[in-house]
Amino acid sequence: MQLDVKIPGLTRQQLSEALVSARGGIDHVLDKMAVMRDRPREEFKPSVPVLESMRLDAYKRQALFRAGGMHAKTVEAETGVKITHEDDAHVSLFAPNKQRLEDAKALIAELLSETDEVTFAFGQMISAEVVELQERGALLQLP
């Protein structure tokens, strides 16, 4: 509640009566609101924007954002869902509505289903066949 008093000579009694009357009005409105909705909505309207965090393994996150974010841009273009990095294990999906979010999650799953899980550990020694030597490195055939 806010009160801006500019009338000189307003007594404490008048101020007290005005605040009691205002409180009664506020309570009346809140009671009417409580009758209509006594608890928060369990589900929002279909048109409400949605933000969700999605866990992705490192190899899948790399596949989603490789080549200048090729797959991420595809998802954004086809569904209108904005994809951003949260941390090393999560990405954020911001969608205009719940249906678009579900469409984006399905498309991400489809695009990343082609990505095989990498079973190599960091620092692990692996035998591989050298297929081609290039100026910038070597191409290897992994087992």
User: HEC string of 63-98?
Assistant: HHHHHHHHHHHHHHHHHCCEEEECCCCEEEEEECCH
DSSP state at residue 81: -
Question: Residue 127: is it exposed, middle or buried by C-beta count within 10 angstroms (0-12/13-18/19+)?
Answer: exposed
Kindly report, residue by residue over 99-123, the tens digit of the pLDDT.
999 999 999 999 888 755 566 777 8
Q: Residue 1: pLDDT above 80?
A: no
Average pLDDT, the chain: 86
**CATH code for position 82:** 3.30.1370.10
Same domain assignment for residues 97 and 112: yes
For residues 32 and 60, state if they share a domain: no
pLDDT one-digit tens code per residue, 64-103: 888 888 889 999 999 999 999 888 889 999 999 999 999 9
Beta bridge partners of 82: 94
Q: What is the mean pLDDT of residues 125-136?
A: 90
The label of the residue with tokens 């307003």 reads: 10
Per-residue burial over 51-68, b = 16 or more CB atoms within 10 Å of its CB, e = otherwise: eeebebeeebbebbbeee
pLDDT of residue 47: 87
Q: Are residues 34 and 50 in the same domain?
A: no
Specify whether 19 is located in the same domain as 50. Answer: no
Residue 4 has pLDDT above 80, yes or no: no
Whether residues 66 and 23 fall in one domain: no
6 lies in the same domain as 25: yes
Q: Does 77 share its domain with 12?
A: no
Model pTM?
Answer: 0.55
Q: How many domains does the chain have?
A: 2
Neighbours of 102 (CB within 10 A): 15
Distance CA 88, CA 58 (A): 7
Residue 24 has pLDDT above 80, yes or no: yes
Q: Give the domain extent around 131.
A: 45-143
- The Cα 47–Cα 2 span in angstroms is 34
Residues 49 and 35 in one domain: no
